[in-house]
Amino acid sequence: MSKAFYDVLYADPDAAQLLGEGNRETRERVLKEWYEQIISGKPGPKFWDRIWMVGWIHILAGVKNVYMMSIGLRIEEIFLEQCLKSFDRDHALRVYAAFRRVFGTATMVIAESYVEGLVSGMEFLGINPKLVERMRKTFIAKGIDDMRRKLNAP
């Protein structure tokens, strides 16, 4: 399954350039181990710390959350396909639903660590956390106003 996932990633020229060919086997092995941890039901005490770290790795690599989440949907499809090949339909759907709950949570943890990593990075550089929060709220409020005007325009 991890090979199928990386086949999808490496088929995208932008992702292939970002990943490089040099460490594909290692990436596939790490992803396979991750799947096995989920499926075993015994992910271990460092499972969520590793998931959190993925968000930081994505920041360094320039991977956007929207791309990560869309690829995550492809992982779910691949997993469902494998379940339907391996089990009767009812059992396949139960296994898939369990995987999807854990995988969905992992995706959200990655996204949160990405955002938190960016904010913490600004704070690390000496930018006051309250200033960062005011900047974020001001920017978001302006964005909402701009979008409302755009949506209400004829």
List, for residues 96-119, the tens digit of each pLDDT value: 999 899 889 989 999 999 888 888
Q: Is residue 146 part of a domain?
A: no
Number of domains in the chain: 1
pLDDT, tens digit, for every residue of 56-72? 888 888 888 888 888 88
Of 1 and 112, more confident: 112
Residue 75's pLDDT is what? Answer: 86
Instruction: Please tell me which residue, 136 or 22, carries the higher pLDDT value.
Output: 136
Does residue 107 form part of some domain? yes
CA distance 57 to 19: 12
Mean pLDDT (the chain, rounded) = 88
Domain that holds residue 41: 2-126
Q: Within a domain: residue 36? A: yes
Query: For residue 78, what is the domain's CATH number?
Result: 1.10.490.10
Q: How far is CA 39 from CA 79, 98, 105, 114, in A?
A: 11, 9, 15, 25
132 within domain boundaries: no
pLDDT at 137: 93
Spatial separation of the C-alpha atoms in residues 63 and 40, rounded to whole Å: 29
* pLDDT band at 45; cut points 50, 70, 90: confident
Q: What is residue 72's predicted lDDT score, i.e. its pLDDT?
A: 87
124's CB contacts (< 8 A; 6+ apart) are none
pLDDT at 20 over 80: no
In a domain, residue 27? The reply is: yes
User: Is 110 exposed, middle or buried (CB count within 10 Å of its CB: 0-12, 13-18, 19+)?
Assistant: buried
